[in-house]
Every structure is written in structure tokens, then in C-alpha cells.
Structure 1
């Protein structure tokens, strides 16, 4: 949408509704982690991974999708080896995984903020290699991945006898339904 105000033009960009849902899923994941200590974040209750691993693991997916495939760069090159899918189990420090997650999601948002409905059917790639799924499907997969690990992190925290955990999906006023 472009608004004209006399001599200059102001361009207002609307965040795509699927990106809004990803942002909400991220915020709910972070809400689940409130008050978590490094010691508890690194506890592994088999067969689940520890919570700090989950944080880094979600960051790996965002880096792969929204930074590597979409922007052609990598900001945390060693993260995949530590917490990537199929890698050996690890119990990384909470602060390190939070820093990686925050850095990666900020850079990912540079790309996500530019998405339009037309771009959601495209496939990202680096030359000859293309993503298996469209950008829209990748957005859905990324969002659902957050919900999967939010539930898993809740289960770990419950097993660790943490109290005062969120009981239901939080305030949705930033993620209300918007028709495209």
C-alpha cells in the first residue's frame, strides 16, 4: 500500500499473515521458557532432547530456510553440527542457544518482512539447488515446528516439576485473523 502525503510517498508494508503466525509461535515458545535456568535447560529426559537443544534446533531451521536459502548466507556456521537434525545429542548452554536464536531470528526477519503472497508459491534456492517446498509451505512447517517443540518443552518442564507454566495459548491480539 502506498500513501501520498503531498511531496513525498510513504510506503506501508504489511506483514504477511503467515509471517505473523510464525512470530506468534516464536513468542509462545519463548513464553514457555520464562524463568528457565541453564541447569534445567540442559537436563535431558530421555528420549527427549534438552530444552537448550530445542532452542538451537529451531534456530538451525530458521537459518537454513530464511538466511541460507533466502539470503545466501550463514550467520552461525557451527550451529548445525551442534543441534541439527540427525546430529548426536548435545546439551549446549542456554545462553549460547538463546544468543544464536536471537541473532538468527533477527536476520531471518529481514527476509520475512519482505514476503508477499505471490512469493509464497516460489521455491528458494542457491543456484541449481532448490528447496523441496514452496516458501509458503516452509513458513507453515517452521511455524508447526515451533508448536511441536513448545509442547515438548512444556513436557520437560512439567517433568522437572516447574510450576506456574502457561496453561493455554497466550494473548493473540498481535496475531488476529487477517484476510489476505
Structure 2
């Protein structure tokens, strides 16, 4: 199942049985439906690449170093997870457990951003901090990466775009003479 997903296919039960060298009936001895089989395959794959979610030396180093490590970690994870990540997104609306798994991954990625750039984000009020984390998570999301790569944009260009987009979101707020806080993004 995982091999078929990694090859970019939405596997049929016949394809899974053929790849496994078993009969279709044997597949259904272990899984009630093809969706159950796909679901199990996706979960096993995500467990297999879970270690790639980590951002090395999270929260330490200069801002430039932290941006670079985040970008490299995201690109590595998305490149490895792409076929299964696309399948999860296709099925999430119909399979609540996949939707919950997808939300957990998204929350983990956002939490990493909050931790990794905590020094810069702590300068903002909680609401503004939360918005900036959400925007940073969106910019560096699988959906962003997928849109770039399916349009033929190279990994190097994606990395450059993200490295250019991140710093303004982390720029400290500026107090005006009237005491109002402004930022490069506005209020």
C-alpha cells in the first residue's frame, strides 16, 4: 500500500494484492474495506517519517540560522511525505480520523514555529502573535509547498521565497509617537 502511494497512485485493492503477492480475498481478511486499508497504510507511513517533522536545534541560534533550519526541515519533510500527504488531504473530508491526524500535524508545525521563533514573537501581543504564527505556518505549509512544486518551481526557489517571506513577519513592532504599535504588516 505504502509503495503504491509513494509511486503516486491511489491504490485499488487489486493493485495492493498484486504488490503484496496475495489474493484480493486475503486483503479483505485483514481489512473490511479498501478505505480501511488505505487509512492503515497512511498511518503507518506517517509513523515511519514522523522523525522528519523535527526542526533541528529548535529555538537556538541566530534568526537567519533558525529560518534556514526551519525551511530545510519543512522541504525535507514535504518532499518525503508528498504522495501520502496528498492522499490524506483527498480523503480527510470523508474520513474523520484522517482529518484529525491532519489537524494534529498542522498544530505540531504551528507549535514548532511558535517555539522556534519565540524570541521574536514574544514582542507581540497574544492576538498578534497568534496571527503571525498562523501566517508563518501557512506560508511554510504543505499546501504552499505543493502549489509551488506542482507549478514546476524548484526546491531552491521555494526555499528562497520562504526565506524572504519569513523575516518581515518576525520584525519587532514599532511604537509611534502617539503610543500606537505599528508593524511592517500594519496593525
* Same fold (TM > 0.5): no
Using structure 2 for the length normalisation, give the TM-score: 0.27
Return the structure number with greater strand share: 1
Say which structure is richer in helix.
2
- Flag the structure with more relative contact order, 1 or 2, with Cα contacts below 8 A and sequence separation at least 6: 1
